Amino acid sequence: MKSVNQTQKVPALYQSAAWKNAFIKLLPQHMIKNPVMAVVWLGTLITLFSTVFGQTQLFFGMTVTFILFITVLFANYAEAVAEAKGRGQAASLRQARQNLTARRLKTLQDKEGEQIAATVLALNDLIEIRAGELIPADGEIVHGFATINEAAVTGESAPVLREAGTDRSGVIGGTKVLTDRIIVQVTAETGHSFLDRMIALVEGSNRQKTPNEIALGILLTVMTLTFVLVVATLPVIAGSLGITLDPIVLVALLVCLIPTTIGGLLPAIGIAGMNRALKANLIAKSGKAVEVAGDVDVLLLDKTGTITYGDRQATAFYPLTGVTPSELRQAAVLTSFADPTPEGKSVVSLAKELGEHVHQPEQAEFIAFNAASRISGINLETGQQIRKGAIDAILKFTSQSLENNPELKTRVEQVASKGATPLVVSLNQNILGVIELSDVVKPSIKEKFARLREMGIRTVMITGDNPLTAAAIAAEAGVDDYIAEAKPEDKLACIRREQQNGHLVAMVGDGTNDAPALAQADIGLAMNSGTQAAKEAGNMVDLDSDPTKLLAVVEIGKQQLITRGALTTFSLANDISKYFAILPALFVLAIPQMQVLNVMQLASPESAILSALIFNAIIISLLIPLALRGVKFTPSTSTQLLRRNMLIYGVGGVILPFVAIKGIDLIVSLIMGV
């Protein structure tokens, strides 16, 4: 699968744009949005002023100022590079809607219409699009059907079928009609189209902070203010002991006390989560939608098209007495040459798997399948008429009745009892046998449900099938529960019932009748191929229209939560080493007993301060790729995730800085000649 973002790395153009934006974000109106880094930026200005106008050694003061400036710049760059990825994705989307024109019709019967710019189209306008033309606006097909190339939006080159009056009637402005002619009713005004909203979302301009992100931001702000008050009182305490504290050292202590690592990376983590969703061809209408997906514990899925292929597949041939299996298969294949439906194609595929090699006759009259007759077939030069179709249509064609053919009746009832559909094949006035069409379970779906189960997510299949058929498919697919003979309103009732029991529910849908359930669900994943109502109701849209994509949605959400938790744990853990570096440096000259805290045996107070600050700056830059890529997610329980998180990012966050700061101190002390 290809996505809108065709590359994994940010192009050089966006790298330079990210650095430019990193400097722009130094302006007060931008810095105030991140209180932690705003304090570091203010500290940078204080150290610069103190170095120029105070008594601090010039080299030491300017070095501290430079390191603090780099720390702020790296934090800004982390957010800017995440935004740059979004802008790169938005640029490719903009190309899909440039210079579009439209043929507006007055009525459905209007054959000519007027050619206008797509920008002047209004809501509910009727527009005609012919083969080879671009669709000028979002809308619903109200007449006709066509194959459409949606590569401009989805990145997929394979065309898709869109048809009026179905749940696959929605079209997107900027995509291309490849065949036939359709009339579309506009459902979005200029500036409010699907592409417009996608562009705004991926650029980050409409990104809403998630509840967890807001809560963590408040916590970081409170911690920062607390440490500001603590450091502000130190000169008073030190003065009572006859100790004078250098403002630059106080700023260094403050920067090492506050959680600068997670403070600098927090905005980038949120933006990167939405970018990862877009790489999977998922459009999240808010960052909240991505994050909530990580907490989902109940998943509702339709059977058709999600658990099963949706298009029925030929699974068996049942010849009647006096007819060989090969004769039935050959006749079925001949009738399928003029049947372009998935069912017709599956008949040919199954016959080939069973060893039949039937060539299409050059001189023959093909009877194309159509919904009215429900028959397809062929008239051979020999005068033979071979037909395949629904049982009542074939009985009518052969002038027979089911009661007069008990063997046929038995075969038909056997197929129907499995929840499958019988097709009947005839030669002239004789019925040859029955083809079984089954709703085939997707081969990989059972493994996907097992993966969801490992994450603690319960799956519920909703189907209109009878309980017997539903139970068989549920068992084969491996779902945890099922609801049979379900009506559209049953989906909504099920979601509300699960939510009342304290569960977070995800729902997949594509039809107008799915809109209430999509709106009610905590995560509503709408199919891009579905109706406009479904896409409006859901809080995520799958550009690939793959219902099983919900597994990816859940994994992206969990990865978002794990990444934020891991980096927060690491940020708080690595502050411990900085305390052991800065506190002895601050008081050791006046209170020699503080030397006992110098467990790393750092060379001097100056090298200790510089080493801690250098590590503080470097670690942010080193963690930027992890913040953008996300911590690797593997299905496991919450306890296992917490244990892994604490071991790697907690214990590792404590040990690594001690080693790194000591190594940096050796280099710094060598340069300073200490």
Q: What are phi and psi of 389, to 5 degrees?
A: 180, -170
138 is in an annotated binding site: no
510 is in an annotated binding site: yes
158 is in an annotated binding site: no
∠ CA 13-14-17, nearest 5°, is 95
453 is in an annotated binding site: no
Question: What span, in angstroms and rounded, lies between the C-alpha atoms of 126 and 585?
Answer: 75
Tokens standing for residue 397: 């064609």
169 is in an annotated binding site: no
CB atoms within 10 A of CB 447: 10
Question: What span, in angstroms and rounded, lies between the C-alpha atoms of 48 and 60?
Answer: 11
- Please identify every residue annotated as catalytic: 302
343 is in an annotated binding site: yes
449 is in an annotated binding site: no
645 is in an annotated binding site: no
Burial of residue 659 (number of CB atoms within 10 Å: 0-12, 13-18, 19+): exposed
Query: Shortest CA distance to 357 belongs to which of 376, 379, 338, 329?
Result: 329
Alpha helices by DSSP H, 525-604: 532-537, 550-587
Question: What span, in angstroms and rounded, lies between the C-alpha atoms of 499 and 506?
Answer: 10
CB atoms within 10 A of CB 602: 27
Question: What span, in angstroms and rounded, lies between the C-alpha atoms of 370 and 395?
Answer: 17
Question: What span, in angstroms and rounded, lies between the C-alpha atoms of 144 and 182?
Answer: 5
Tokens standing for residue 554: 């859940």
Do the Cβ atoms of 329 and 317 come closer than 8 Å? yes
Query: Shortest CA distance to 423 belongs to which of 350, 358, 354?
Result: 350
DSSP state at residue 479: -
Q: Can you list the pairs that 195-199 forms with residues at least 24 positions away whose Cβ atoms lie under 8 Å?
A: 195/93, 195/94, 195/96, 195/97, 195/138, 195/153, 197/283, 197/285, 198/90, 198/93, 198/153, 198/283, 199/90, 199/93, 199/94
Do the Cβ atoms of 524 and 518 come closer than 8 Å? yes
Tokens standing for residue 672: 């300073």
450 is in an annotated binding site: no
Question: What span, in angstroms and rounded, lies between the C-alpha atoms of 172 and 187?
Answer: 10
Do the Cβ atoms of 294 and 557 come closer than 8 Å? yes
Question: What span, in angstroms and rounded, lies between the C-alpha atoms of 569 and 480?
Answer: 35
369 is in an annotated binding site: yes
Alpha helices by DSSP H, 54-100: 58-94
388 is in an annotated binding site: yes
Residue list for the binding site = 339, 343, 369-376, 388, 510, 514
Residue list for the binding site for Mg(2+) = 510, 514
